């Protein structure tokens, strides 16, 4: 069923335990035209990924129940969810975190606080051109 705003660009599962971060990022993604489903911990994230079949997952790494690394390992081990791109989100720009996220199977990595244009760029490059907004026709200034 499509809403008044037309068909969403894609469905994104946001796994984030911090309520303020979750609300803010989900609102901004919805405003950009994405459908967003939410999970508050790693186990819920794994369950929601199987139930909702999202097109992409944004995974906080520091999560209760299962941390983001273990949740991603499980997602990437399950045939139903292993193809879904995962972008890891962490609060620290530590290089060890990045390597650990990629080793767990994350397809990309970004740090908080979220820089929305930068994150959208990563989302769009993983979803591919079919699932992203078309750029307006280029305007020539000459
Ligand atoms: Mn967290």
| Annotated domain spans of the chain | 11-132
In the chain, which stretches have pLDDT less than 50? 1-3, 134-137
Q: What is the pLDDT, as a whole number, of residue 141?
A: 54
Q: What is the pLDDT of residue 97?
A: 82
CB 14 within 8 A of CB 29: yes
Query: Beta 86-90 vs 56-60: how paired, if at all?
Result: parallel
Contacts by 77-83, CB closer than 8 A, 24 or more apart: 78/50, 80/50, 80/53, 81/46, 81/49, 81/50
Question: How many A from CA of 60 to the centre of ligand 1?
Answer: 6
CATH code that applies to domain 11-132: 3.40.50.2300
Rounded distance from Cα 119 to ligand 1 centre (Å)? 17
Phi, psi of 122, deg, nearest 5:
-70, -40
What's the confidence (pLDDT) of residue 81? 97
Distance 51 CA to ligand 1 centre (A): 22
pLDDT at residue 134 in the model: 47
- Which pLDDT tens digit goes with each residue over 96-136? 888 889 999 999 999 988 999 999 999 999 998 655 554 44
Quote the ligand 1 centre to 101 CA distance (angstroms). 14
State the burial class of residue 3 (Cβ atoms within 10 Å of its Cβ: 0-12, 13-18, 19+): exposed
Q: What are 39's two structure tokens?
A: 């999970």
pLDDT of amino acid 48: 98
The Å distance, Cα 76 to ligand 1 centre, comes to 20
């Amino acid at each position: 069923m499509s809403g008044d705003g037309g068909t969403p660009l894609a469905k994104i599962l946001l796994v984030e335990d911090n309520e303020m971060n979750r609300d803010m990022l989900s609102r901004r993604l919805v405003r950009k035209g994405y459908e967003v489903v939410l999970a508050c911990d790693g186990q819920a994230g794994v369950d929601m990924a199987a139930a909702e079949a999202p097109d992409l997952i944004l995974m906080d790494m520091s999560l209760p129940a299962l941390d983001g690394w273990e949740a991603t390992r499980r997602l990437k081990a399950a045939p139903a969810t292993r193809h879904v791109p995962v972008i890891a989100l962490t609060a620290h720009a530590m290089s060890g975190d990045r390597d650990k996220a990629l080793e767990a199977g994350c397809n990309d990595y970004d740090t908080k606080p979220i820089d929305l244009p930068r994150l959208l760029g990563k989302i769009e490059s993983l979803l591919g051109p079919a699932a992203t907004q078309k750029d307006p026709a280029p305007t020539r200034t000459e």
